[in-house]
Amino acid sequence: MFSKLKLITGNANIPLAEEVARFAGIPLGDIELFKFSNDESFVKINDNVRGADVFIIQPTCYPVNDSLMDLLIVIDALKRASAQRISCVIPYYAYARSDKKDQPRVPITAKLVADLITIAGANRVITVDLHAEQIQGFFNIPVDHLFTVPIFARYFKSIMNLDDVVVVSPDSGGANRARALAKRLNSGLAIADKRRSGNNDKTECMNIIGDVQGKNAILFDDIIDTGGSLIKVALELQKKGAKHVYAACAHGVLSGNAVENLENSPIEKLYITNTIPLTENKKSEKIVQLSIAEMLAIAIKKIHIEESISILFR
């Protein structure tokens, strides 16, 4: 049944790809992927992929442009090697926050990336917790959009007393995401009124809408980058009387001084997933990483045999 299924990984997150392969019971394909001295990337697929259903596991994380270019080159190599279907498993989709033209003369880079992946020859994309769900519509090929809410919900149920938990969205745009987790935990919901005055962490938390007094607050977002926005909301939650403040984010970008900022913040624990590898310089006693490997393995095998993946949303 799975004889035509092939798994290939780029260099962006090899540990995740190896874990997915173990759960799927399918070995990773043999691939050479490296840079020449002139900084140009080179790819060679050493396995026979003619007529195969190939899944490339490659988040477009740091270094973002290298990871994206490697993905495009691997797609092209597979297409020219006569793979029957090429599916890109992109757990972290870079440039997702550039999803609309909100200023004069700026690009919609998320759409550009979608076009590049499609034109390169991909037949399908599997991704996790897109910053904006409408990015699915930027593709003219099928997109399977998976969510980490079930993974976080199961974990929190196993470690917390949920009687006094409130899930907090750090802004109004993430309210649906936070509501989905609150529903699974049967907990309250609060929303931060946040004003952004520039890029990255230039934000101000104006107010918290909802009851957080004496509660264990879980700040729930899709991405933690510098951590500035989440920390400002955490400080406001502390002022409003939250008993404990935790944060949960699918994608731990953790750029710049994010880990140092986290260490000096009221956030007691940050829960992230392994969509992006957690390098040694970003590890902290405050950071707990959960795995999405089993979810991806199930999705890959079900897509291969043309079955519904709705079980992953339950």
Which one of the listed residues 6, 194, 232, 301 is annotated catalytic? 194
What is the enclosing helix (H) or strand (E) of 182? Answer: helix 175-185
Token pair belonging to 263: 């260490």
Q: Are strands 124-128 and 85-90 parallel, antiparallel or unpaired?
A: parallel
Q: What span, in angstroms and rounded, lies between the C-alpha atoms of 244 and 293?
A: 29
Q: In what order do the strands lie in the sheet with 244-252?
A: 203-209, 188-196, 165-169, 216-224, 244-252, 269-273, 287-290
For the chain, the C-alpha Rg in angstroms (whole number) is 20
Cα separations (Å) of 220 from 98, 124, 182, 240? 21, 28, 10, 18
246 Cβ contact partners less than 8 Å away, ≥ 6 residues apart: 216, 217, 218, 219, 267, 268, 269, 270, 271
- Whether residue 194 lies in the annotated active site: yes
173 Cβ contact partners less than 8 Å away, ≥ 6 residues apart: none
**What sign results for the dihedral spanned by CA atoms 246, 251, 252, 254?**
negative
Residue type, position 259, single letter: V
The 3-state DSSP class for residue 221 equals strand
Token pair belonging to 67: 């990871």
Name the residues annotated as catalytic.
194
